Amino acid sequence: MADFLVNALIAGLSLALVAGPLGSLVVWRRMAYFGDTLSHAALFGVALGLMLDVSPTLAVTVACVLLAVLLVTLQQRQPLASDTLLGILAHSTLSLGLVTLSFMRDVRIDLMGYLFGDLLAVGSHDLLWIVGGSALVLVLLMLLWRPLLAVTVHEELARVEGLPVTAIRLALMLLIAVVIAVAMKIVGVLLITSLLIIPAAAAQRHARTPEGMAVGASLLGVVAVCLGLAMSWYEDTPAGPSIVVSAAGLFLASFILPRRPA
């Protein structure tokens, strides 16, 4: 098997594993649009990273965190609903990123690669970031799993029971930001959220415990990555979109399978 395919497979699989539990939390907490907004802001982060000559992964993480802070501040200061704010921020940051990139005429970048991913171009340096970042987020998710669940079920109850709710929510935002920075290379900023929520949504119908849904989502993500890469290899389709199409196919299939009796 070609080296670039091995790299792509390892990168895709490590992202799929961490996307299972994180995507389940996103689905339970109805944060899909939030994730989407963060990933749009990621392109702005790329532009900033190129401008300031720092690692794009770091720049994207910082941009996502700044956006999350801006969002929380705006939510508290004015009456517009969250989805309106998210819509404003998502498309403004995406446009800001594109405009900023256009100013840097001496920098040649593959815009399509950032928007839709360029999995087959993952090099060994990228691979280190992707595997390391995914592993770090996965470990933190395991450590924080019970408090994250408690906060998802009832924030005030969690607060009365002594959990540091604000810190836990912030931690979740940071984890999402890191995964977006990591996933950008794989599926691109426009498709990242789908990798979080589609496997989780597909696993939901057949899961009986929160952990069952998280693990199920990881496994379905692994299958989607394998199917997508195979499609890309044999049919010469773009890798990132092929993975998302495979995941969507698995989601539809989850409706055909009969639900286990409770």
Site residues for another protein per CB under 8 A: 27-30, 146, 149-150, 152-154, 156-157, 159-161, 201, 204, 207-210, 212-213, 262
CA atoms in the 13 A half-sphere facing the CB of 205: 16
Q: Which residues contact 171 (CB under 8 A, 6 or more apart)?
A: 140, 144
Q: Which residues contact 223 (CB under 8 A, 6 or more apart)?
A: 246, 250
In whole angstroms, the minimum distance from the beta carbon of 44 to another protein comes to 30
In whole angstroms, the minimum distance from the beta carbon of 166 to another protein comes to 12
In whole angstroms, the minimum distance from the beta carbon of 258 to another protein comes to 17
In whole angstroms, the minimum distance from the beta carbon of 216 to another protein comes to 10
Task: Report the residue number, 28 or 33, with the smaller CB distance to another protein.
Answer: 28
Q: Record the tokens describing residue 252, joined without a space.
A: 């539809």
Under DSSP, the state recorded for 258 is P
Task: Report the residue number, 27 or 176, with the smaller CB distance to another protein.
Answer: 27
In whole angstroms, the minimum distance from the beta carbon of 142 to another protein comes to 16
Task: Report the residue number, 10 or 150, with the smaller CB distance to another protein.
Answer: 150
Task: Report the residue number, 38 or 158, with the smaller CB distance to another protein.
Answer: 158
In whole angstroms, the minimum distance from the beta carbon of 30 to another protein comes to 7
Render the burial of 54-84: b for 16+ CB within 10 Å, e for the rest: eebbebbbbbbbbbbeebeeeeeeeeeeeee
Judge whether 243 and 183 are in contact, CB under 8 Å. no
Task: Report the residue number, 32 or 227, with the smaller CB distance to another protein.
Answer: 32
CB atoms within 10 A of CB 260: 9
In whole angstroms, the minimum distance from the beta carbon of 210 to another protein comes to 6
Task: Report the residue number, 92 or 204, with the smaller CB distance to another protein.
Answer: 204
Q: Is the dihedral of CA 32, 238, 49, 132 positive or negative?
A: positive
Q: Torsion angle of alpha carbons 235, 236, 241, 242, nearest 10°?
A: 30
Round to whole Å and give the CA distance between 7 and 186: 11
Task: Report the residue number, 23 or 49, with the smaller CB distance to another protein.
Answer: 23
